Amino acid sequence: MEISSIPFSNQEDNLYSSNFFTFNQENFDQPPTMKNQKIGDNDLGLVFRDSFSFEDIFSKLFPGEDQVTGIVDPFQTNQMLDSSSIDNNVFRFKNEKEFVFDQNPGKLSHKRSRGESSDDLSVNHVVAGGGQRRCWMKNRSKAWWEQIDSSHCPEEEFKKAFRMRKSTFEMICRELEHVVNKKDTMLRQAIPVRQRVAVCIWRLATGEPLREVSKRFGLGISTCHKLVLQVCKAFQDVLKPKFLNWPNDRKMQEVKSEFENISGIGNVGGVLYTTHVPIIAPKDKVAMYYNKKHTERNNKASYSVTVQGVVNHKGIFTDVLIGWPGSMSDEKVLEKSSIFQRGNMGLMKDAMLVGNSGHPLMDWVLVPYTQQHLTWTQHAFNEKIEEVQKIGQDAFMRMKARWACLQKRTETKLQDLPLVLMACCVLHNICEMNNEGLSPELKFELFDDEMVAENGVRSVNASHYRDHVAHKLLHFSFAGTNSL
């Protein structure tokens, strides 16, 4: 918390009373019928009376003045004061919400709260308007951040904290510098870009509460909260167009070729997968976010939002859809996406997406057989589809493992959550493109419940094509090749 001090001049005739002068302790002459009025919760404890004007109060404070010609802005009085007398008298606020006049600024009369040490507060001297002002702020240790940001910090320790090497972190800072950089003010120095980005990335990587982020970086809790949202917004506006986009024709052909080498299925342009991110039960429309499958499995009421992504053969996101309620099935979430509209309009250019049993079979979506009794051909086809699906599932696992905030019920408000989730997707792509390996201790088994699509087959031509692919896979697997 900051407490601002305003300098006033000190007259030689000692107009002020010794020690302190407090507005709510001064006894003004008041008619017995007049009642004191308090002006609200944010009035700093000042008591005003309807019968007193500014001139009355001014005459009480400055009895040597006969007339007041207008209200004087206290921040502008510095220009009228003798600079030698600036430090002698100081107005300041106390923790007890009193407006206090201090004639002896050399002795601090701040009353410490219980458990607060004398080292918890510091004073910054700044020059403003020709005079000196004092800005009180709480001392916070930045030892951890200064150590981790130093050139002597080992690469392993830095990567353990931020899930990336120093070179990748510095690249991100350079990309975001023109957006997140702030200028120094006359009251304080701006937080450096590296520290701003580090606050956001460490918060996403660990999922720790804001009070822990505050302790690590020596910043206020509200400041850390604002920094996280500001940097996440910069990730979306600046880095998303560069690191998360749909591949062009040349790259799409490369993706198709790689998937064919992996599974033997041609024209696969990506893997379609949907995961859930837990949230605290919202106040409004709580039933929409109720996750029935997770609740039944964990025996505890669960609420979530969905993240749908299309992943290429390297585990990099090429399309994401974020924020739909957790009660929706994978089929319903897909229908809300722009890629669904693109596919139905025939704009996929012969590229197919491999989905799971929760997605419908369409001309551009290939899914496994879901009936109970499968033939050898159908069973072999499902095994190949599972191999491709594993690429998408592993990509989501690595994203959740790196950014642990996706595994915990976050403090972030529901309306701000899509911004945070998008930042995690962009950071995942940056790490994958820069070959940032995942520590083995961070890996875990990702499990997302699948609900069989209500309308499982939406195209007869797609059903015939799936049967044809299944037959070719079985035939060429016996022939010793994995291509169609």
Q: Return the number of other C-beta atoms located less than 10 Å from residue 185's C-beta.
A: 10
The answer to whether residues 332 and 470 belong to one domain is yes
Shared domain check, 156 and 9? no
Per 3-state DSSP, the chain is made up of helix, strand and coil in percentages (nearest 5) of: 40, 15, 45
Q: Are residues 172 and 78 in the same domain?
A: no
Decide if 184 is inside a domain.
yes
Q: DSSP secondary structure string, 285-328?
A: SGGGGB-HHHHHHHTS--BEEEEEEEE-TTS-EEEEEEEEETTS
Give yes or no: residues 402 and 459 share one domain.
yes
Tell whether 275 and 217 lie within a shared domain.
Answer: no
The answer to whether 381 and 482 are in contact (CB under 8 A) is: no
Query: Quick one: pLDDT at residue 456?
Result: 77
What pLDDT does 63 receive? 59
Judgement on whether residues 225 and 249 belong to the same structural domain of the protein: no
Task: Give the other-Cβ count within 10 Å of 51's Cβ.
Answer: 12
Is residue 120 a part of any domain in this protein? yes
CA angle 183, 187, 189 (to 5 degrees): 40
pLDDT digits (tens, 9 = 90+) for 183-222: 988 878 899 999 999 999 999 999 999 999 999 999 999 9
Shared domain check, 419 and 288: yes
User: Among 116, 138, 160, which residue terminates a domain?
Assistant: 138
484 assigned to some structural domain: no
* Count of structural domains within the chain: 3
Kindly state whether residues 269 and 232 are assigned to the same domain. no
- pLDDT at position 322: 96
Chain centroid to Cα 471, Å, comes to 48
Q: Do both 75 and 207 map to the same domain?
A: no
In this prediction, residue 452 carries a pLDDT of 76
Q: Edge-to-edge strands of the sheet including 3-8?
A: 20-22, 99-102, 89-93, 3-8, 131-138, 121-128
Q: Is 388 exposed, middle or buried (0-12, 13-18, 19+ CB in 10 A)?
A: buried
Boundary residue ending a domain (111, 138, 165): 138
Domain match, 356 and 402 both: yes
What is the Cα–Cα distance from 370 to 452, expressed in whole angstroms?
8
Domain that holds residue 148: 143-242
CA distance 148 to 160: 11
Backbone phi, psi, residue 61, to 5°: -75, -40
Q: Supply the pLDDT for residue 383.
A: 93
pTM for this predicted structure: 0.73
Which residue(s) pair with 6 in the sheet? 91
Other Cβ atoms closer than 10 A to 444: 10
For residue 284, being part of any structural domain is answered with yes
Residue ranges for the chain with pLDDT beneath 50: 1-51, 65-119, 126-130, 478-484
Q: Does residue 291 share a domain with residue 368? A: yes
If we measure between CA atoms, which residue out of 340, 356, 351 comes closest to residue 260? 351
Token digits of residue 181: 């950089």
The partner residues of 128 in beta bridges, in order of sequence, read 131
User: What is the model's pLDDT at position 314?
Assistant: 96
Q: Maximum CA pair distance of the chain?
A: 109
Measure Cα distances from 422 to 105, 235, 303, 389, 397 in Å. 50, 8, 19, 22, 16
Identify the helix (H) or strand (E) that includes residue 352: strand 352-354
pLDDT of residue 140: 85
pLDDT at 216: 95
Q: Are 260 and 388 in contact (CB under 8 A)?
A: no
Both 149 and 273 in one domain: the answer is no
Pick from 242, 270, 291: which residue ends a domain? Answer: 242
Q: What pLDDT score does 134 carry?
A: 61
Polymer length of the chain: 484
The answer to whether residue 307 is domain-embedded is yes
Query: Any bridge partners for residue 93, and if so which?
Result: 99
